[in-house]
Each structure stands twice: as structure tokens, then as C-alpha cells.
Amino acid sequence: MTFPVDDIRSAFPILTDGRRKKPFRYFDSACVTLRPQAVVDAIGEYYGRFPGCHGRTVHDLGRLVTDRYDEAHQAACDLINARSRRDVVFVRNATEGINAVCHGLDLKPGDVVYSSDIEHNSNLLPWQDGARRNLFDFRIFRTHDDSTFDAEAFRRDFPANCRLVTIHSTSNVTGASFPVDEIVRISHERGAPVLVDAAQSMVTGPPDVRRPGIDFLVFSAHKMFGPSGLGVLYVAPDHQDGLRPLLLGGETVTDTTYGDHTPAAWPDRLEAGLQNYAGACGFTAAVAFLRRLDRPALKAHLTALNGRLSEAVGSIPGVRILGPADPADRPTVLSLVADGIDPHRLATLLDDAAGIMVRSGMHCCHSWFHGRNIPESVRFSFSAYNTHEEVEAAVEMLDSLLRHFRRR
């Protein structure tokens, strides 16, 4: 199964820019993906051709913006197989979407929110803060040592008064994926809706919200070739009337008096104020680009890249890989810990010496690192534009740097 990586790379202007003085080898897509020219053009088209406002005007610019904004909602709807574009709300990012659910649900003291021990801070802090203020209780189930889902622990510790289960689909730390369908089924059997943070899984396989019956889902455009400052919150129809808006203001109402207001229909009632219309145009272009990718071929390509780097890293003394042993179980991420070596220093040297850009630290998941007594790591994260040549360069430079540190 051949993946056309050269054709993919030609769509990204930053990869064809000949002005750089050193190689450009980008392995930080779990943080932010690069953007294809089509996304850049779509953003510029908004500012250059129809820089108006959606929903508030009847002139030509307003109608053009409304058409494009509606197209973006439909693109989001189609991507996750929602029933209607009314079910998707545009937010700034997955973080805001999670906060919208946290503050919008009618949770009460004694209600329990249930989550895993390896969630991104965006899916930890809102619940932790709410529990600290005694708005509800927050409990955590433990994953296996390799960060994969522990179904036995999940069932055993499932709270009797659970009112929400909130989990990621794929870990940004280890690249391991949870069995979302199974988690939704178990949770629904016990009367709890499920929020899925799908930020890390949109490129390799956007969830189908209808198949398992996902109740809430969030993701960010900037992790799927789209613009920053735009994300999606999906809310299943059964939960829409029970979710209070996080923000109120223009566009969220149809009428007001000095004493009251009439909420707008979905999704307008949750999209307060002037929206990121340029970002919405860029998002539509990103979805179109994403949908052209052959997902099975892409996953095979990423697994092969990860497998080669994993094999090389695994042969270096004092270095261990976080997460599942098989790269096929974490195709987008390789996080390594090198005993006695500062990960930030290693990441800096990789960039300075060979233009290899990685992430170092605890990757917004400090709680899991502290809870497992794991030091900070260096994370390689792969996407559609990475090549075997880039991986070989990373293998050579990692081996050289790590062996150099060992000799000191």
C-alpha cells in the first residue's frame, strides 16, 4: 500500500520554501500540524473578497460570509457524520469546547465526572476546578502501564452516580487510542453520557458520532491542517436543550427586553459575538484536504515511519519508549525518555544540528508523568508529510547525540 507523500508535501508551502538555511524536518504535528496552501488561500480569500459579518446583515458581503460559514458547519457535520449541521458549534479550540460542556451541564454536588489518568490538561483542569469548588465530584480510573485502556478498572471503579464520562480518543503523550465504542456502550448502559476529546485522532480517523452514539465531541482545526483559533463542539440533539451557553451576547438571542431575552436556535445560541469567519473558511479547506487522504494508506505510512524510529531508539542503552511496544498501536507518536539526559537540551540540539523539530516536556499531561514517576520526555509526532528520509536523518542524529551524552 503506497502513500503519495511527495504529492502531499507539494501542497504545503513551508516544505517547498527554498530560503531556509537548514533542513526543515517537522515532527511536532501532535501540537500543531502544518497548513496546506489551500487553507492559507481560503483564509486570505475571506479578508480580501468578503470581509463581512455572518447573520446580521442583508448586503452582499454578509450573504457571502453566511454562505461560507454555513458551508463550514456542514463540513464539520459531514466529517464526523453528525445528523445536522445544527449539531456542531464553532469554538476557539477543543479546550473551549470542553469548558463549554463543563460549565453548561446541570451538574450538582454529588454528581460524578469520570475520566482517565492520562488526559490532556484541557480535559483535566475544568473538572478538577469544578470539584474543588464543590460543584460536583471528579474521579479518575487508571490505565495500564503502557497507557492503554483498562476495561476492568473502568468497570470496577465506575461511580454509581456518574453523570458524565470524559475521555480522549488518542493520547497526545503516547499515541495510544482508547476503544471509544466500548467506552460509550458501557457508559450508556450505566446511564452516563460521554464526552470525547478527539483532537489527536482527526487526521488518522475522525470519529463517527452516530455509530457509538457519542454525546459530546470536541476537536481543534489546528491539529488537522486547519487554522488556529477554531475548534468544533458536537452536541447530540438529546443534550442540546440542557446545555447552558458558556458566553452570551450578540447572535445568541433573537430578541431582548430589559428584563429577559429569547435564546436563538442551535448552534447560534452557543456562538456568541463575531466569529472567526476566516478560520471557518480555512477549516472548510482543511476538511476537503483531509477527506482526500487515503486513511488506510496513511496509517500504514505513519506506522512504518514510527516503526523505523522505534527500532533505532530501542537499540540505544538507557532509552525507553512510552506507551505500547508495537508502533502500530501508536502510529502518530513516539515519546522517549533518555535516562540522565535533559529532554529540552536534546530537543534543542536536534533542531540546531539537523532541523529536526520535536516537543520536549510533559506535553500538557503533567499529572500522568508525576503519577507514574516518569521524567520529562522528547516526543516525535508524525503526519502525512513526513518521509522516510526525514526519519533516517532523525535516527542518525539521535544515535549520535545520545551516544555522545553517554560518553560524557
Q: What are 131-178's pLDDT values in tens digits? A: 999 999 999 999 999 999 999 999 999 999 999 999 999 999 999 999
Cβ contact 271:89 at 8 Å: yes
- Residue written as grid cell 482527526: 202
Beta-carbon neighbour count of residue 291 at 10 Å? 12
74 exposure class (CB count in 10 Å sphere: 0-12, 13-18, 19+): middle
**Residues annotated as catalytic (active site), given as ranges:** 364
Radius of gyration of the chain (CA): 22
Closest CA to 233 of 39, 122, 88: 88
pLDDT digits (tens, 9 = 90+) for 354-382: 999 999 999 999 999 999 999 999 999 99
Q: Is the pLDDT of residue 68 over 70?
A: yes
Predicted pLDDT at 60: 80
324 CB-near residues (< 8 Å, 6+ apart): 146, 147, 148, 174, 175, 176, 330
In the structure grid, which three cell numbers stand for residue 3, read together? 502513500
Number of C-beta neighbours around residue 100 at 10 A: 23
C-alpha cell at 297: 494508506
Percent of the chain with pLDDT over 70: 99
Q: What mean pLDDT is predicted for residues 290-299?
A: 96
Q: Kindly list the domain boundaries of the chain, sorted by start residue.
A: 5-30+294-407, 40-291
What is the structure's pLDDT at 55? 77
In this predicted structure, what is the pLDDT of residue 95? 98
Residue range 67-92: average pLDDT? 97
Cis peptide upstream of residue 267 (ω within 30 degrees of 0): yes
| pLDDT value at 334 more than 80 | yes
Order across the sheet with 194-197: list the strands: 88-91, 231-235, 216-220, 194-197, 162-168, 112-116, 137-141
* Domain 40-291 in this protein, CATH class: alpha beta
Q: Are 365 and 353 in contact (CB under 8 A)?
A: no
Please tell me the pTM assigned to this model. 0.96
Mean pLDDT for 88-98 is 98
Task: Give the residue from 104, 349, 387 showing the smallest Cα distance to 243.
Answer: 104
Is the pLDDT at 209 greater than 70? The verdict is yes
Nearest Cα neighbor of 52 from 218, 236, 228, 275 is 275
Tell the residue number behind the cell numbers 475544568, with chain if given: 126
Running DSSP on this structure, what letter comes out for residue 222? G
pLDDT, residue 285, reads: 98
69 vs 65: CA distance, rounded Å = 6
Grid cell for residue 184: 460509550
pLDDT at position 171, please? 98
Condensed to tens digits (0 to 9), the pLDDT of residues 220-250 reads 999 999 999 999 999 999 999 999 999 999 9
Q: Which backbone phi and psi does 378 adopt, to 5 degrees?
A: -110, 125
CATH topology of domain 5-30+294-407: Aspartate Aminotransferase, domain 1 (3.90.1150)
Which one, of 156, 198, 158, 155, lies nearest residue 177 by Cα? 198
Average pLDDT, the chain: 96
Beta-carbon contacts of residue 59 (< 8 Å; ≥ 6 apart) = 52
